[in-house]
Amino acid sequence: MSRHPTRRRFLALSAAAMMPLASSAQPQTDAPPLFVWDMARDDFGGFSALHLERDGVTFLALSDRAFLYRGQFERDADERIIGVAVRSVHQLRHRDGSLLSGPRGDSEGLAVGADGTLYIAFEGGRRTRVAAYVGPDLPARLLPRHPDFRDMPGNGALEALAIDAQGRLYTLSEDDPRAGAFPLYRHDRGDWAIIGAIPQRGPFLPVGADFGPDGNFYLLERRFRLPGFATRISRIRPEAWSNPETLFETDIGTLDNHEGISVTRNRHGRLRATIISDDNRLFLQRTEIVEVLLD
């Protein structure tokens, strides 16, 4: 299939994405409370994605080595996370049933369908793909690839993955902006299509995404510069992809390398983003779980 129609459509979308649009929100800049999670397991760490159930307690955490943690958060009277109970750990499988490891197992994005199906984005050059899992111990079912996926950077491809209320998947590359914007891919009725473009704003790069219970798209971005990382959370209203609204942004070094985001409501009905960091399995870094109120 020719890629030129896709390219022409993207150029039109990206031109719209670069148009300056005003945003009235003043982003939060204060450091939120955080919980440092640690476990004495060889497969612990490197978390790249997070899914939190509506109860605000039950979670899935995905590592970048194809390990999926199921568990529950322990919260105090003020709903702050004070502990983590892991119920099970699963090593994901390829479509042939073999356990994923090495370059094949660079799992980065996670979305959960209404029926419980797990959708996981993997990066790695020609191995870049999205797979569906009926259960965490079952073989993968590979979704068709968009032609662009094979040309994405090996370590900067599909990091963010989200699913909307209609069951449509959304993804974008971490490090592949074109004409100053990141093409947004949507999987609907068996095919991927570019349906918008999210402008690149400064040196931040997209690493996580989720649809909140309000129906809006929430984008987690990170920036790296010595001596550390900066984190940004933005809200984008569907079909207004060119107008992200920054809700939360930190300075370099305030938080660690946050890559996973899940948006839920707390018991008072307020929107809450729960984010998790990738410690790169380095002793200088740590696994942080941070929660930010978005309204």
Q: 55 in helix, strand or coil? A: coil
φ/ψ of 12, rounded to 5, equals: -65, -40
Is the model's pLDDT at 14 over the cut of 70?
no
Question: Could you tell me whether strands 271-277 and 81-91 are parallel, antiparallel, or unpaired per DSSP bridges?
Answer: unpaired
What pLDDT, on the 0 to 100 scale, is given for residue 125? 78
Lowest model confidence (mean pLDDT) among 27-36, 144-153, 261-270: 27-36
Strand order in the sheet with 67-75: 47-52, 58-63, 67-75, 81-91
Is the model's pLDDT at 220 over the cut of 80?
yes
Is residue 239 exposed (0-12), middle (13-18) or buried (19+ Cβ within 10 Å)? exposed
Q: Quick one: average pLDDT of 68-93? A: 98
If one compares 5 and 240, the residue with the highest pLDDT of the two is 240
Token readout for 124 is 């790695």
Assess contact for 15 and 76: CB atoms under 8 A.
Answer: no
What pLDDT, on the 0 to 100 scale, is given for residue 76? 96
Token readout for 275 is 């984010």
**Per-domain boundaries in the chain:** 4-293
Assess contact for 157 and 174: CB atoms under 8 A.
Answer: yes
Q: Identify any residues that bridge with 17 across adjacent strands, giving them in sequence order.
A: none
In the structure, what pLDDT confidence band is assigned to residue 115 with cuts at 50, 70 and 90?
very high
In the structure, what pLDDT confidence band is assigned to residue 126 with cuts at 50, 70 and 90?
confident
**Conformation bin of residue 104: beta by default, left when phi > 0, alpha when psi is -120 to 50:** alpha
Fold classification of 4-293 is Neuraminidase (2.120.10)
If one compares 11 and 255, the residue with the highest pLDDT of the two is 255
What pLDDT, on the 0 to 100 scale, is given for residue 31? 64
Q: What is the pLDDT of residues 35-75, one digit of tens each?
A: 999 999 999 999 999 999 999 999 999 999 999 999 999 99
